Structure 1
Amino acid sequence: MDYKKIADELLKDIGGKENVQAATHCATRLRLVLNDEDKVDRAKLETRDEVKGTFSTGGQYQIILGAGTVNEVYKEFIKAAGIDAMSKEQVKTAGSKKLNPLQQAVKTLSDIFVPIIPAIVACGLMMGLNNVFTAPDLFVTGKSLIEAYPAISGLAAMINTFSNAAYVFLPILIGFSATQKFGGNPYLGAVLGMLMVHPDLLNAYSYPAAIADGTVPYWNIFGFEIAKVGYQGTVLPILFSAFILAKIESFLHKRIHSSLDNLITPLVSLFITGFLTFVLIGPLTRTAGDAMTSGLVWLYDTTGPVGGFIIGLFYAPLVITGMHHSFIAVETQLLADIAKTGGTFIFPIAAMSNVSQGAAALAMFFILKDEKTKGLASASAISAYLGITEPAMFGINLKYRYPFYAAIIGSAISSAYITLFKVKAVALGAAGIPGIIAITQGKLFHYVIGMLIATVITFSLTYAFSTKEWSKAVEKGGKAAGTPKAFRLFNKAE
């Protein structure tokens, strides 16, 4: 392949070197920060054989080139653009400057939680494995596996203990990641998290009962009483406390002489933040976090299938903006208090959305004529069914519009169905077919039926929409007479 030629052509298609602010690459994608994305010739770009798809997210315009190819093209691209090679973090920073305050807040939340997701997923899947051991009638009629085979009960108990670790000590994980993101010492953040789950404190799960009994312990400091209550399984308290810790540390670093900095700065930063956490930050944010979670739970519990329909309808649009990452905080809190909540209802709804996006892309495989696009449609459909929707959503469904509309309708209806039967998950993981292992006991049947509903409805609607004149025109890159106003809003690029 002539990588220099490819790089030159790509540079021309995105508006020339004066339109490039920063560039990096990952395993398969060229990741660019552009001055004006409207200057990109998307139609020309996506006709090139080397380009497997394009999309814009988080202030970055990303071009999918494939493993191996992207490395070589990138070398020639930065030469042609006259820019220096940059790390992914540097490009992320450059891209985030183009985001509005809400997008920046969501991106910050995402950057904090993404590094700890493997730990949460690992423990979550062990919860799912424990579910397999303890679910009655799953393999043996009238019995669970540990009842049928008592010899494995010890193994099941061990797995259950392992599965709780990330949630019991969640503030430590978040404290490390959040303090690092906010520019502080991550190890101080981890210690702050340890303070919040210290065994000398009343366990957070026992707090409601202690309030009812009037047995909440207190520190008495000069007549001022501070509740000695832990923050196990909470999210917002450690997020805000980590932010305060990082800012105090940064403030002190600039003002304390280097000879005393390593001694005084950690001590003062940790003490002040710890004090503020138990006096002010913790109580306020615990209440706010409970209110946010309770609001979604209220929508789910009170409105039933209607609430499921609403969440399912808007889940994919939230993915486009990146705001779905804010659900991680809610889901984590739901799972941390699983004895009370029974699990997370957001994960199964996310799975319905992902499967719907996959079904839309699968339908496009049969509808489209171009072999290159058909290949992308089939591959991205499989990816979506396995829980990764970006290729299907950005590469196919949003490009042709009507598959995306079909997918969000299919997601809404299937989400209403699983909400009707209270399908929940005891773990986080890949929201799609692999999510089967995480579903609560007795609800697996309805989860599978929900995925079938999402597939059939979305596939059928995508085909139905493809017969309309407006959708054919969109596929050809033009406007059609009589296109519904709601759909015309998405056709500004034509």
Structure 2
Amino acid sequence: MNHKEIAHAILNAIGGKENVSAAAHCATRLRLVLQNEEKIDQAALNSLDVVKGTFSTAGQFQIILGAGIVNEVYKPLVNLVGITEMSTCQVKSAGAKKQNPLLQLVKLLSDIFVPIIPAIVAGGLLMGLNNLLTAKDLFIHGKSLIDANPGIADLAAMINTFANAAFVFLPVLIGFSTTKRFGGNAFLGAALGMIMVHPDLLNAYGYGAALVAHKVPAWHILGLTIEKVGYQGTVLPVLASSFILAKIETNLRRVIPSSLDNLLTPLLSILITGVLTFTLVGPLTRSAGNLFTDGIVWLYNTTGFVGGGIFGLFYVPIVITGMHQSFIAVETQLVANVAKTGGSFLFPIASMSNVAQGAATLAVFLITKDKKMKSIASASGISALLGITEPAMFGVTLKLKYPFIGAIIGSAVASAFVTFFKVRAVALGAAGLPGIISIKPASIVYYVIGMGISIVIAFFLTLVLAKRDAKKNTHGLEKKAA
């Protein structure tokens, strides 16, 4: 089949051009928003050799075709449907309209945090590298690499400065992204973030000690006492303030004459939002953010390995719903306040889940005789071990069911193990085999053992369940024949 014939076959299988509202593609997948997903002929899609798997998420129906093929099929597809080519962002927006309010909130958080993840990951991984250089007993008994090689002490100090920047000035990144998301001027959002971490303010990391010592600086304006405290490493305060900034700016533009717009709108937007931030919004959301973070840490410490195991068991179902995107905000807060929180316990559990999906998928690769499934399983299994699980989940484990069961059990046991040994990440990165550098140096051994447990259980349990599934199917056929 040529690419036009493939496009035509796919279009027929998804209910025809009348069923397609929007279409885009990423590196490997067609991303479609359909009027009614019940019209999809799944059997017809599965019969196409070019289709490596399908899944539905976030209001989109996605068809895995592979790199180099998807873009060639996409062009004739949009011509057959009679729509213009769209970006993945446009399709995401179209798909979001079909979601319930909770998933829309998750998508909102995703839209804000996904663009700034590269900066956070870069800073986090540099922090992990610094920890490798400064941790005692990791490579040399009783010493760190810095102790053994004093000449690289300044290198470690420089790396530490680079690593901390993204977290110290986190409100600038979030302010830019949030204000842009809500339709305001992104650079005003960045300016608000800069105000919230201005050097004239008391550093947020020193607020607790200053409060105990009764030495919190303040402004005294018209009888009001306003604390001069920064918001380094915070998430909720800058999210709320940036939302208010965007709404104030867009409303001011409607009432201020165009001749004064460039002068008054930025001035009033920053002034009003800044005052609200330090008098009302900031203190309230700082307290709420601290309570939320403390609550998450308390839950983790209280439920222990049982809670970790339960979370590991349900992590993939959460990913299927897309709810895992909301974890980005929580993880950012945990990593930004690593001295207080100890780091993120979500990252190690996500890693255990991802490698379990990879191991189960590779087990399918080993035992399946279906050439198409073998091809999908080989590539998606390795991808899952490296932290990208969607192809493995939707193309293999969910489709066959028994490897999915093997994977979530492997994930649950390994998650309980890493939770028992308090494994935490001090950085965000690829949740899988490469995630070792993101883990606290003292916990790296337990992290590696945890991945081993996850891989072994998921792999061998999938083999066992596959044999049981095969016997069950054979028995069913014998009954039908009888």
Answer yes or no: same fold by TM over 0.5.
yes
DSSP-derived class of the 1:219 partner:
strand
Equivalent residue, structure 2, for 1:248: 248
Q: Which string of whole-angstrom CA distances, capped at 9 and with x for unpartnered residues, describes residues 298-327 of structure 1?
A: 121122111211221221111111111211
Equivalent residue runs for 1:294-309 within 5 Å: 294-309=294-309
Q: Quick one: structure 1 residues 106 and 444, their matched pair in 2 at CA, closer, same or farther if it must change by over 3 Å?
A: same
How far apart, CA to CA, are the structure 2 residues paired with 1:192 and 1:102?
28
The alignment yields a C-alpha RMSD, in angstroms, of 1.9
Equivalent residue runs for 1:301-380 within 5 Å: 301-380=301-380
DSSP-derived class of the 1:51 partner:
coil
How far apart, CA to CA, are the structure 2 residues paired with 1:5 and 1:207?
65
Equivalent residue runs for 1:223-262 within 5 Å: 223-262=223-262
Unaligned runs of 5+ in 2: none
1:400 matches 2:400: yes
Question: How far apart are 1:239 and its partner, in Å?
Answer: 0.9
Q: Runs of 4+ in structure 1 displaced over 4 angstroms? A: 469-474
Question: How far apart are 1:346 and its partner, in Å?
Answer: 1.2
How far apart, CA to CA, are the structure 1 residues paired with 2:138 and 2:302?
30
Question: How far apart are 1:88 and its partner, in Å?
Answer: 2.1
Task: Report the residue type matching 2:31 in the other structure.
Answer: R
How far apart, CA to CA, are the structure 1 residues paired with 2:210 and 2:55?
51
Is contact 2:64-2:391 (8 Å) kept? no
Question: How far apart are 1:471 and its partner, in Å?
Answer: 9.3
Question: How far apart are 1:473 and its partner, in Å?
Answer: 5.4
How far apart, CA to CA, are the structure 1 residues paired with 2:119 and 2:427?
11
Q: Which string of whole-angstrom CA distances, capped at 9 and with x for unpartnered residues, describes residues 385-430 of structure 1?
A: 1111111111111112222222122111101111111111111100
How far apart, CA to CA, are the structure 2 residues paired with 1:197 and 1:329?
19
Question: How far apart are 1:195 and its partner, in Å?
Answer: 0.9
How far apart, CA to CA, are the structure 2 residues paired with 1:54 and 1:156?
46
Is contact 2:343-2:424 (8 Å) kept? yes
Question: How far apart are 1:470 and its partner, in Å?
Answer: 9.0
Equivalent residue, structure 1, for 2:382: 382
Equivalent residue, structure 1, for 2:429: 429
Q: Which string of whole-angstrom CA distances, capped at 9 and with x for unpartnered residues, describes residues 278-310 of structure 1?
A: 122111211221222222211211221112112
How far apart, CA to CA, are the structure 2 residues paired with 1:471 and 1:124?
48
Is contact 2:402-2:469 (8 Å) kept? no
Is contact 1:351-1:432 (8 Å) kept? yes
Percent identical among aligned pairs is: 66
Equivalent residue runs for 1:132-211 within 5 Å: 132-211=132-211
Equivalent residue, structure 2, for 1:15: 15
Equivalent residue, structure 2, for 1:99: 99
Task: Report the residue type matching 1:173 in the other structure.
Answer: L
Is contact 1:124-1:163 (8 Å) kept? yes
Is contact 2:349-2:415 (8 Å) kept? yes
How far apart, CA to CA, are the structure 1 residues paired with 2:471 and 2:161?
53
1:125 matches 2:125: yes
Equivalent residue, structure 2, for 1:488: none
Equivalent residue, structure 1, for 2:443: 443
Question: How far apart are 1:166 and its partner, in Å?
Answer: 0.2
How far apart, CA to CA, are the structure 1 residues paired with 2:281 and 2:43?
51
Equivalent residue, structure 1, for 2:89: 89
How far apart, CA to CA, are the structure 2 residues paired with 1:65 and 1:285?
45
Equivalent residue, structure 1, for 2:292: 292
1:452 matches 2:452: yes
Is contact 2:170-2:233 (8 Å) kept? yes
Equivalent residue, structure 2, for 1:492: none
How far apart, CA to CA, are the structure 1 residues paired with 2:132 and 2:175?
32
Task: Report the residue type matching 1:242 in the other structure.
Answer: S
Is contact 1:354-1:387 (8 Å) kept? yes
Q: Which string of whole-angstrom CA distances, capped at 9 and with x for unpartnered residues, describes residues 354-377 of structure 1?
A: 111111111111232211111111
Question: How far apart are 1:472 and its partner, in Å?
Answer: 5.8
Task: Report the residue type matching 2:349 in the other structure.
Answer: I
DSSP-derived class of the 2:441 partner:
coil
How far apart, CA to CA, are the structure 2 residues paired with 1:469 and 1:382?
24
How far apart, CA to CA, are the structure 2 residues paired with 1:472 and 1:157?
61
How far apart, CA to CA, are the structure 1 residues paired with 2:339 and 2:26?
40
How far apart, CA to CA, are the structure 1 residues paired with 2:104 and 2:367?
38
Equivalent residue, structure 2, for 1:485: none
Task: Report the residue type matching 1:423 in the other structure.
Answer: V
Question: How far apart are 1:469 and its partner, in Å?
Answer: 4.7
Q: How many residues align?
A: 478
Q: TM-score, normalised by structure 1?
A: 0.93
DSSP-derived class of the 1:431 partner:
coil
Is contact 1:385-1:432 (8 Å) kept? yes
Using the TM superposition, name which of 61-70 and 379-388 deviates more. 61-70
Q: TM-score, normalised by structure 2?
A: 0.96
Task: Report the residue type matching 1:397 in the other structure.
Answer: T
1:110 matches 2:110: yes
Q: Quick one: structure 1 residues 473 and 107, their matched pair in 2 at CA, closer, same or farther if it must change by over 3 Å?
A: farther
Question: How far apart are 1:200 and its partner, in Å?
Answer: 1.1
Is contact 1:465-1:471 (8 Å) kept? no
Equivalent residue, structure 2, for 1:490: none
Q: Quick one: structure 1 residues 473 and 14, their matched pair in 2 at CA, closer, same or farther if it must change by over 3 Å?
A: farther
DSSP-derived class of the 1:63 partner:
strand
Task: Report the residue type matching 1:235 in the other structure.
Answer: V
How far apart, CA to CA, are the structure 2 residues paired with 1:223 and 1:329?
36
DSSP-derived class of the 1:184 partner:
coil
Question: How far apart are 1:180 and its partner, in Å?
Answer: 0.8
Equivalent residue, structure 2, for 1:411: 411
Task: Report the residue type matching 2:241 in the other structure.
Answer: S
How far apart, CA to CA, are the structure 2 residues paired with 1:115 and 1:472?
47
Equivalent residue, structure 2, for 1:272: 272
Is contact 1:402-1:471 (8 Å) kept? no
Q: Quick one: structure 1 residues 473 and 98, their matched pair in 2 at CA, closer, same or farther if it must change by over 3 Å?
A: farther
